[in-house]
Amino acid sequence: MEKAEGRNETLVMEFILLGFGNAPELQPFLFLLFLLIYIVTMVGKILIIMLVVVDQHLHTSMYFFLGNLACLEISYTSTILPRMLANLLTGDRTISVKGCLVQTYFFGMIAMTENLLLAAMSYDRYLAICNPLRYAALMNGRVCFQLVAGSWVYSFLVIGTLNYFLFKLTFCGSKEIDHFFCDFSPMIKLSCGDTQTLQLATFTVATIGTLVPLLLTLTSYIYIITAILRIPSTTGRQKAFSTCSSHLTVVTIFYMSVITVYVFPTSNTPKVLHKIFSVFYTVLTPMINPVIYSLRNKEVKESLRKTILKWVAFRNRHRILKGKFYLV
């Protein structure tokens, strides 16, 4: 058998994702639950993308960012849920080392991109409320594209660099990852070699990638709230706040979940509780975001209503034409 260099341990070629435990009676229920969540998430995201593309009234910077956020969260959810569903359905929890590394890379890249994109969306709302006269000039199509592309490219390069060193690691000893997906920290802990430098680099990148966008977002909303409070009329304040309330809600839910998982946990935190919070920000948050944007945004609701009416009218027209064809 192949041995790790300098150690009398077998090299690990695959990991076992322990997921949510070994209770067979729970597996069908969990499979149906996560399948339903995945379907609802995909339908909600695709619907938002279609509305943003089709409705001319939504061809603004705010909805450009919203459409990109929907695309990103489709990728985010699809990085984790399909593999989890396959594990629950078949009972096979093994995943190759390379497969785990690839999942870790895409998860890290998309998570960092979401942090940056949420910060860009907060900057967009800051310009719209605090500098409305120059908003169209400052947040034009070219700037929007640069912010989105910059978020993707930066995350691709930074997480790609980390994963380059992660791919060079060898793994031995334990195969078990007590989680439902592959993350940086559990994988590094299973490595045979010295990983102190990589752990420090991972911590630094995660801190900068989370803390800097969070501080930029908080700064934007401090200015936004200050500007809204200066508006003399109640109607004006409500109208101004309604343009950013959906994004503020999404940002709050996302960062509260991430901070709960990665900042506050201690060695005394139960593993089950850690997994539940991880499910919330990786699976549930992408599912409820379309609901938040739909229920708290009049333009999205109006666009959805018009789209449904057009679809119903098209269906009725098609049936009438079909009936006339058969009569002839």
Is-contact 254 289, C-beta < 8 A? Answer: no
| 3-class secondary-structure state, position 326 | helix
User: What pLDDT sits at residue 6?
Assistant: 46
What does the DSSP 8-state code read for residue 181?
A: S
Tokens, residue 181: 């997906």
pLDDT in tens, 249-278: 888 888 887 777 766 655 555 667 777 778
Whether the pLDDT of residue 307 is over 50: the answer is yes
Tokens, residue 294: 């739909």
pTM of the predicted protein model: 0.84
> pLDDT category, 5, cuts 50, 70, 90?
very low
* Whole-angstrom distance, CA of residue 219 vs CA of residue 215: 6
| 3-class secondary-structure state, position 230 | coil
Is-contact 177 187, C-beta < 8 A? Answer: yes
Query: What average pLDDT does this structure show over 197-221?
Result: 85
> pLDDT category, 321, cuts 50, 70, 90?
low
* Whole-angstrom distance, CA of residue 149 vs CA of residue 146: 5
Which long-range contacts (C-beta less than 8 Å, at least 24 apart) are formed by 86-92?
A: 87/17, 87/19, 87/180, 88/19, 88/27, 88/30, 88/31, 88/34, 89/31, 91/24, 91/27
What does the DSSP 8-state code read for residue 60?
A: S
Whether the pLDDT of residue 79 is over 50: the answer is yes
- Report the share of the chain in percent with pLDDT over 90: 20
Average model confidence (pLDDT) across the chain: 82
Alpha-carbon torsion 125, 281, 74, 46, what sign? negative
- Amino acid (1-letter code) at residue 29: F
User: What pLDDT sits at residue 268?
Assistant: 56
Which long-range contacts (C-beta less than 8 Å, at least 24 apart) are formed by 42-47?
A: 42/74, 42/77, 44/287, 44/289, 44/290, 44/291, 45/70, 45/71, 45/73, 45/74, 45/286, 45/290, 46/70, 46/74, 47/290, 47/304
Give the helix, strand, coil percentages of the chain, each rounded to 5. Answer: 75, 5, 20
* Whole-angstrom distance, CA of residue 101 vs CA of residue 166: 8
pLDDT in tens, 13-65: 888 888 877 777 788 898 999 999 999 999 988 988 888 888 888 888 888 99
User: What pLDDT sits at residue 7?
Assistant: 47
- Domains assigned to the chain: 14-296 (1.20.1070.10)
Query: What average pLDDT does this structure show over 318-327?
Result: 57
Where is pLDDT greater, at 76 or 242?
A: 76
Is-contact 69 289, C-beta < 8 A? Answer: yes
pLDDT in tens, 223-236: 998 988 888 888 87
Query: What average pLDDT does this structure show over 306-313?
Result: 73
Query: What average pLDDT does this structure show over 309-323?
Result: 66
User: What pLDDT sits at residue 145?
Assistant: 94
Where is pLDDT greater, at 174 or 34?
A: 34
For residue 72, count other CB atoms closer than 10 A to its CB.
Answer: 21
